Structure formats: structure tokens, C-alpha cells
């Protein structure tokens, strides 16, 4: 059997390597348009930054390795330009020799990847404007930086945009980051991405949210980037990172079915509409596990897994690719952010019902140095409490909690299961009650009816007779509080029960810094017969993430940092069970 694979990076090379292990006697031919196969795609920004000093480290294996060890026939700079499905041949153009030839396949695997979107803006073809897809792009960008670039504009606030903004800052370049929507990282909900923007600003990136690029103009060989807001930074380098589109040309020409998102349509075995043609990686559409919607998700892990499934099926094994959770993570300077499953935005779009909670636990035991509070958001079904999605943003231990929650979600766990998870604890790594357990406690408390939650987005619609109570200390209250809130510190609540007695039926809205003291307050008031007591989920930390103005405004609406001492306010340190 002869298998031809178009594209030799993550998906294509995974298919090839797996195929060889399953079938020593198959003929496996790989055509790769670019000069490199199996390179470390996700490492490109880190060579530009200097983190990966040795460029050779990006080349996982060479064609010679693959020939020698896996007996693969790898042809680089060979572009497949057409497929004749009736004759089962591909047409190949050899960039080196200029020759075109045909090659016959029994099974064909398309792994062409995705192309950076190039928005049709005036001046977009200026030579200093680059996307970052492959080694050549990386080399070109790095050359400009090495020559002493002073300033750069990065267009797009997703993975590549953020990683490139960091890389350029680390090289001492002035960076403007321009993002059309009002938030970075579209896979996160807006309130969860808020701190990422501030963190980038703190590292000297000028973040322009809610800002379109109008045009690019030449400025003596540099690029003037005209922004909708009126700014027009001039840059030595522009990095376009506004997303990718599946490379579907070849598939389209061959008459294979293309989905509504522009990706190649495949079945669970990665077969296209032609049973002798498979497709894997960034070019295919996958099903979102939570919402059931089709999506194009360019992640290396998925491409590898799909390659394995395609190879298995070609070799006669029934492996199937499952729907996608979209687990992902990004490092942005010192922060880590990511998630798994559906976002709140996605659940709304899909008209799915959900409940959510926010918590802000430390990455590890607060008394052991080097930890910071993280933002953790959990989404789950309102009845059974089955996990739908999770997002985590912070510093230490964020990637760990994303992976634990991804595993729990895959297992179909509920928030009650999270309460009981037995995770590893030593002071440098976690807490006796891990953040994941804490998320379970808080969510399960809500589902069991032990507490009613309210959310920052409801603030402007609170009932007229609402009694808003800030349960922090007088000093914290004096520093800043939500307008209209009165102050009853948790430690004094029991003394005020009598005064509050007239308000037993009045809606009461409690809050504190992170939601814990006000949870205690909720429990006390309810047991004293107050009927309508609500606790602000995530406390002021989440409230601020919602209501602080975007960076484009001159002045934040609420202070970014609560009073310094509040972070360790004694009364937040009560053991939570």
C-alpha cells in the first residue's frame, strides 16, 4: 500500500510515524512545500525572543532521520498542486528543480495546515509587514529585530499576537498591540482576560483594545499604522496575527466537502468525503464537545492526535477522534492563562443553560513563598453540576489546574466530584484544599442551595430596595467600595442582627474581597431568618475585572488593586471547608 501525505509538520508527520509503526511494508511518501519538516511550530516566537537561542533546536528531526529510522520518503520543497481522485494521483511541483510530476496513492492524507489571515487593508503588502507561520517568517522577523528594530506593531490579541508582543519586548522593542475586540484571547471570557491586558501594559506593551487598523502607510521604509482611534504608531516591523484560515484550496479543487467554517469536513476516522482521502490538523473542522458546534481549532496537540487516528484507520484499526474540548494555555510574561471546555460566551451563543462561580485561590500554600492568587472560573450545568468549562488566569500553578480540570471535564465529573478529588499537597505545590477542590466546594454550595450567588454584571440592575453590604474591614471599605454599599465587617455581623431585623424580606447583596467572608455572612443571615440573601461570586476581585474600564479609557472606573493589606486580610484566611 502506498500512502501519500501532503504536509510534514505536526499532523502529517504524526500520521507518517504512526503508519510506519503499524505497517513496516507500506510505502509512505511525504510532500512538504516548505524546506523543513517536523519543526517546532509553537517555538517560533521563542527563538525570536532569544529564549531558544539555538535555531537548530526547532528542528525536531531531519528528513534524513526519518528516512533512516522510519523509512519514510520525505520530499521538501515539493508542493502538491492538484489531486485527480479518479486516477488516484497527485500532481507535485518540485520547487528546487522546477519539475512537475504525478504520483499515485492508495490512500492520501491532507495535512496542509492553516494560513495566517491577511486582512485586505490598504498597504497590507508593505515589506515590513509579516505574519508568523513558518521558519522563513521567523527568520525574516528575527532579522529585522537583530538589525535593531526600535518599534513594532502587533495586530491581533490571540496566541501568536501575545507571544510575539512578549518576544519583541524581551528584545527591547517598543510594542503596540492592536486588538479589534474589547478583550485579548477570545477563548477566554472578557472578565478573565482583563488582567492579561494590564499585565502586558505593566511590561511596557501599549495595548489598544477595541481598535481597528484602518490602513498601513509607508514612512521612509518603515510602516505607519493608522488606527481607528486616531493613533498612528510608526513601526520598523508589523506582525499580523489576526488568526488563521484552514488551507482548503487543494481539497476544494478536488471537490472534497468543505464545512461552514472553511475547514475540510472529516468523519470520526478523519476521512474526507472521499474515503481514500484523509485530512488532519489545522485544515479540518472539528466538533466542539460542549456546544456541538463545528469549529476550526489550530492546536498542535489535536493535529498530532488526528494524525494517529488517520494512521490507525488506514492500517485497519477502528480508532476514532472525539469532539474537542479546546484545552489551551498561554504564557504571557509572568502570567499564565488558559482554559478547557466551553466559555460563557460560547454557552450563550449555543443557548445552553449553565451556572458559574469565580474564586481566587493561591497557587500554593499562602505561607510558602512565591504564590499569588489566581482567577478561576467554573461553568457547569445548573441541575447535575456537570462541568462545562473552566478558565484559569494567574501566576503559579495555573497550567496544573487547567489540566486537572480538563481531565475532570473529559471524565464527565460534576462539581461534587471536584470537592472530593484527592490532589497532591505539599506547601510548594498546592494547598490542603486545592484550588480545584475549592472550586468544587463553592460550586456545590451554590447547587445545594447553601448560598445564593449574585454576579458583577447584575450590579446595575439590583432591585431598588436592595441592601448592599460590604463585609470587609472598615479600612478596606474606606479604601474603595462599591457605590451604595454600607459596611458591616463579618466579625461584627452577629452584633448587627437586631438592627438588620427590619429587613428580613428585603433583598440583601453581600460582598467582600474574594467572596469568602460574605459567604460566611450569607450563612449567618439565612440562619437568622433573612429570606433573600445573595453573595457576590468572586467578590471585589471579580467585580473589578468586570467593571474596570478597558485600557482605552483614560481613567479606570474602579481601582485596579485593592488596598495592599487587603490581600492578606486576616479574616480571609479562615480555613474553608
462 binds its own copies (CB under 8 A): no
- Which of 86, 125, 147, 527 touches its own copies (CB under 8 A)? 527
The DSSP secondary structure of 305-346, one letter per residue, reads HHHHHHHHHHTT----PPPB---EEEEETTEEEEEEE--HHH
Q: What is the DSSP secondary structure assignment for residue 550, as one 8-state letter?
A: P
Report, in Å, the least distance between residue 2 CB and its own copies.
17
- Interaction residues for its own copies, span 83-112 (CB under 8 A): none
Query: Which CA distances in Å does 44 have to 47, 134, 141, 222, 328?
Result: 5, 8, 10, 23, 18
The helix or strand, by DSSP H or E, that contains position 280, with its residue range, turns out to be: none
Name the residue among 360, 388, 415 with its Cα closest to residue 567: 360
- Which of 5, 13, 30, 279 touches its own copies (CB under 8 A)? 13
Catalytic residue among 2, 23, 40, 42: 42
Closer to its own copies by Cβ: residue 26 or 129: 26
- Which of 48, 61, 223, 290 touches its own copies (CB under 8 A)? 61
Report, in Å, the least distance between residue 368 CB and its own copies.
6
- Give the Cα separation of 240 and 223 in Å (integer): 13
- Interaction residues for its own copies, span 269-308 (CB under 8 A): 299-305, 307-308
Look up 42 and say whether it is catalytic.
yes
Binding-site residue total for its own copies (CB under 8 A)? 103
The number of angstroms, rounded, from the C-alpha of 49 to the middle of its chain's C-alpha atoms is 21
Closer to its own copies by Cβ: residue 311 or 545: 311
Closer to its own copies by Cβ: residue 359 or 551: 359
Name the residue among 88, 107, 86, 109 with its Cα closest to residue 31: 109
Here the cell at position 172 is: 527591547
The number of angstroms, rounded, from the C-alpha of 137 to the middle of its chain's C-alpha atoms is 23
- Give the Cα separation of 454 and 468 in Å (integer): 11
Instruction: Tabulate helix, strand, coil % of the chain (nearest 5).
Output: 30, 25, 40
- Which of 97, 136, 181, 322 touches its own copies (CB under 8 A)? 322
- Give the Cα separation of 336 and 332 in Å (integer): 6
Closer to its own copies by Cβ: residue 48 or 153: 48
Here the cell at position 160 is: 501568536
Contact 255, 171 (CB under 8 A): no
Contact 254, 83 (CB under 8 A): yes
- Give the Cα separation of 512 and 471 in Å (integer): 5
- Give the Cα separation of 324 and 489 in Å (integer): 46
- Interaction residues for its own copies, span 553-572 (CB under 8 A): 570-571
- Which of 187, 211, 325, 391 touches its own copies (CB under 8 A)? 325
Closer to its own copies by Cβ: residue 423 or 485: 423
- Which of 172, 275, 382, 491 touches its own copies (CB under 8 A)? 491
Among the residue ranges 138-146, 164-172, 198-206, 520-528, the one whose residues contact its own copies (CB under 8 A): 520-528
- Which of 404, 415, 446, 447 touches its own copies (CB under 8 A)? 404
102: CB partners within 8 A, 6+ apart: 84, 89, 90, 91, 92
504 binds its own copies (CB under 8 A): no
Name the residue among 491, 456, 497, 499 with its Cα closest to residue 471: 491
403 binds its own copies (CB under 8 A): yes
457: CB partners within 8 A, 6+ apart: 546
Closer to its own copies by Cβ: residue 176 or 419: 419
18 binds its own copies (CB under 8 A): yes
40 binds its own copies (CB under 8 A): yes
21 binds its own copies (CB under 8 A): yes
Closer to its own copies by Cβ: residue 211 or 473: 473
Closer to its own copies by Cβ: residue 271 or 305: 305
Among the residue ranges 202-210, 228-236, 317-325, 538-546, the one whose residues contact its own copies (CB under 8 A): 317-325
Among the residue ranges 90-98, 232-240, 264-272, 364-372, the one whose residues contact its own copies (CB under 8 A): 364-372
Binding mask 409-438 for its own copies (x = CB under 8 A): -xxxx---x--xxxxxxxxxxx-xxx-x--
Report, in Å, the least distance between residue 327 CB and its own copies.
5
396 binds its own copies (CB under 8 A): no
406 binds its own copies (CB under 8 A): yes
51 binds its own copies (CB under 8 A): yes
The helix or strand, by DSSP H or E, that contains position 442, with its residue range, turns out to be: helix 435-447
Report, in Å, the least distance between residue 404 CB and its own copies.
5
Contact 560, 544 (CB under 8 A): yes
Closer to its own copies by Cβ: residue 51 or 249: 51
94: CB partners within 8 A, 6+ apart: 75, 77, 78, 100, 101
330 binds its own copies (CB under 8 A): yes
Catalytic residues: 42
Amino acid at each position: 500500500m502506498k500512502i501519500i501525505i501532503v504536509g510534514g509538520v505536526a499532523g502529517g508527520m504524526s500520521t507518517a510515524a504512526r503508519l510506519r509503526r503499524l505497517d513496516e511494508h507500506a510505502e509512505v511518501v511525504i510532500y512538504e512545500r516548505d524546506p523543513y519538516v517536523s519543526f517546532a511550530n509553537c517555538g517560533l516566537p521563542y527563538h525570536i525572543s532569544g529564549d531558544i537561542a539555538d535555531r537548530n533546536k526547532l528542528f525536531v528531526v531531519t528528513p534524513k532521520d526519518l528516512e533512516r529510522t522510519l523509512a519514510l520518503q520525505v520530499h521538501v520543497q515539493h508542493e502538491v498542486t492538484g489531486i485527480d481522485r479518479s486516477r488516484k494521483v497527485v500532481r507535485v511541483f518540485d520547487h528546487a528543480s522546477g519539475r512537475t510530476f504525478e504520483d499515485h496513492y492508495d490512500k492520501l492524507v491532507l495535512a496542509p495546515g492553516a494560513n495566517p489571515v491577511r486582512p485586505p487593508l490598504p498597504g497590507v503588502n508593505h515589506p515590513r509587514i509579516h505574519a508568523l507561520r513558518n521558519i522563513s517568517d521567523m527568520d525574516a522577523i528575527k532579522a529585522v529585530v537583530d538589525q535593531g528594530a526600535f518599534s513594532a506593531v502587533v495586530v491581533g490579541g490571540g496566541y501568536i499576537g501575545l507571544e510575539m508582543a512578549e518576544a519583541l519586548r524581551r528584545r527591547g522593542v517598543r510594542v503596540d498591540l492592536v486588538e479589534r475586540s474589547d478583550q485579548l484571547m477570545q477563548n477566554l471570557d472578557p472578565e478573565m482576560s482583563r488582567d492579561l491586558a494590564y499585565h502586558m501594559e505593566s511590561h511596557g506593551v501599549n495595548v489598544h483594545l477595541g481598535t481597528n487598523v484602518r490602513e498601513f502607510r509607508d514612512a521612509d521604509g518603515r510602516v505607519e499604522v493608522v488606527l481607528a482611534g486616531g493613533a498612528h504608531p510608526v513601526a520598523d516591523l508589523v506582525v499580523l496575527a489576526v488568526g488563521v484560515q484552514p488551507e482548503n484550496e487543494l481539497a476544494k479543487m478536488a471537490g472534497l466537502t468543505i464545512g461552514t467554517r472553511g475547514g475540510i469536513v472529516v468523519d470520526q476516522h478523519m476521512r474526507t468525503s472521499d474515503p481514500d482521502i484523509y485530512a488532519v490538523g489545522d485544515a479540518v473542522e472539528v466538533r466542539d464537545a460542549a456546544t456541538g458546534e463545528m469549529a476550526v481549532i489550530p492546536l498542535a496537540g489535536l493535529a498530532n492526535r488526528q494524525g494517529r487516528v488517520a494512521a490507525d484507520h488506514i492500517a485497519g484499526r477502528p480508532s476514532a477522534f472525539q469532539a474537542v474540548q479546546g484545552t489551551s494555555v498561554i504564557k504571557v510574561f509572568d502570567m499564565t492563562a488558559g482554559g478547557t471546555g466551553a466559555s460563557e460566551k460560547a454557552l450563550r451563543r449555543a443557548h445552553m443553560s449553565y451556572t458559574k462561580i469565580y474564586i481566587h485561590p493561591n497557587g500554593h500554600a499562602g505561607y510558602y513563598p512565591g504564590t499569588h492568587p489566581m482567577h478561576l472560573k467554573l461553568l457547569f450545568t445548573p441541575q447535575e453540576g456537570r462541568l462545562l468549562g473552566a478558565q484559569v488566569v494567574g501566576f503559579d500553578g495555573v497550567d496544573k489546574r487547567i489540566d486537572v480540570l480538563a481531565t475532570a471535564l473529559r471524565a464527565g465529573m460534576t462539581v461534587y466530584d471536584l470537592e472530593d478529588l484527592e490532589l497532591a499537597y505539599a506547601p510548594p505545590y498546592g494547598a490542603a484544599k486545592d484550588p480545584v477542590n475549592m472550586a468544587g466546594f463553592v460550586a456545590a454550595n451554590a447547587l445545594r442551595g447553601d448560598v445564593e450567588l449574585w454576579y458583577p454584571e447584575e450590579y446595575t440592575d439590583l432591585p431598588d430596595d436592595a441592601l448592599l453590604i460590604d463585609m470587609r474591614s472598615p479600612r478596606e471599605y474606606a479604601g474603595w467600595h462599591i457605590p451604595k454599599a454600607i459596611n458591616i465587617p463579618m466579625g461584627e455581623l452577629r452584633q448587627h442582627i437586631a438592627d438588620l431585623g427590619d429587613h428580613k424580606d428585603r433583598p440583601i447583596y453581600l460582598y467582600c474581597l474574594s467572596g469568602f467572608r460574605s459567604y460566611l455572612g450569607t450563612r449567618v443571615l439565612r440562619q437568622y431568618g433573612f429570606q433573600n440573601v445573595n453573595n457576590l461570586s468572586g467578590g471585589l476581585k471579580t467585580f473589578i475585572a468586570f467593571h474596570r474600564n478597558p485600557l482605552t479609557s483614560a481613567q479606570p472606573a474602579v481601582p485596579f488593586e485593592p488596598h495592599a493589606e487587603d490581600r492578606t486580610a486576616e479574616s480571609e484566611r479562615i480555613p474553608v471547608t
